[in-house]
Amino acid sequence: MFDCGKIAIIGGGSWATAIAKIIISHTHHIGWYMRRDDRIEEFKRLSHNPTYLTSVHFNTNEIYFSNDINKIVEAYDTLVFVIPSPYLKNHLKKLRTRIRDKFIITAIKGLVPDENLACSEYFHQVYDVPLENLACIGGPSHAEEVALERLSYLTVGCADLTKAKSFADVMASEYIKTKTSADVMGIEYSSVLKNVYAIAAGICSGLNYGDNFQAVLISNAIQEMDRLLTAVNPLDRNVCDSVYLGDLLVTGYSKFSRNRTFGSMIGKGYSVKSAQIEMEMIAEGYFGTKCMKEINRYLHVNMPILDAVYNILYERINPQIEIKLLTDSFR
């Protein structure tokens, strides 16, 4: 049986905090890299993250904090990356330590901008991490609900299912059910697409389309996702599994969904910039839309929902006009 060894969290947001809470309840020790030293000091003083999920309290004696990513990478065996995808490259540029022998887990629901690669592809191609040392976490899992210990289901993907099972066991608890999958690429790309579709759902909500249409939108979205995943990585997968459809549903419908909230503001007439400023949080789907559009220029998959969201966000097409055109393509 594979041993995950000492585990560290790379990132300081809400999902990083929720994952840290899950892991530390098993291991009673984690390393934790956060970029800002003032946030670390505040965390130690308050015994909780000063900015995200502030109701979740930690025993800080069980945490080794550092704002030096190299110290964390050197000292820990399993590294869980939970950094918003637009900032991943900047953090990795600070690395002076080899990571190819580490067990790398990405809990990042986005692609690496400019490279248009899934995070596991990026670690493999740029940092020479073997595929069997790369894993991802997916599934319907809003950080806020995980923090409240509401029942959630997570899937750990890895080419080496023994390693996936080992990390899944670390995550499992009374309120976290886990399963494993070999479909790393499918999980990563679906977690990007569901953010795009959540923006679409939000735009439609902002335009006062009702629940009936939202259901049609989501049923078309899962078909669109299936077409893309088949083109990217033609495995025998069931897109109705919770890691695909379940994650799409919760992101498309939940009040906790940043991407849906962002889309709703766009539908109500906010500009992209004003919506981003007011939210003060990253809506990964904004960046994911551009990455997926560029990837699909080579794949040529029929993706009318992705195209519509791209046209609204990047071509500044009026949402009312673009969504009306989209509705005419649905049956």
The residue extents of the domains of the chain are 7-182, 186-329
pLDDT at res. 259:
94
88 within 8 A of 81, measured Cβ to Cβ: yes
- Read off the pTM: 0.94
pLDDT at res. 113:
85
Q: What is the average pLDDT score of the chain?
A: 95
Phi, psi of 320 (to 5 degrees): -60, -45
Averaged pLDDT, 179-185: 96
Regarding the domain delimited by 186-329, which CATH topology (the fold level of the hierarchy) does it fall under? Answer: N-(1-d-carboxylethyl)-l-norvaline Dehydrogenase; domain 2 (1.10.1040)
pLDDT at res. 313:
97
User: Each residue of 249-272: pLDDT tens digit?
Assistant: 999 998 888 999 999 999 999 999
Regarding the domain delimited by 7-182, which CATH topology (the fold level of the hierarchy) does it fall under? Answer: Rossmann fold (3.40.50)
Q: Which of 325, 310, 326 is nearest to 272 (CA)?
A: 310
Q: How many CB atoms lie within 10 A of CB 87?
A: 15
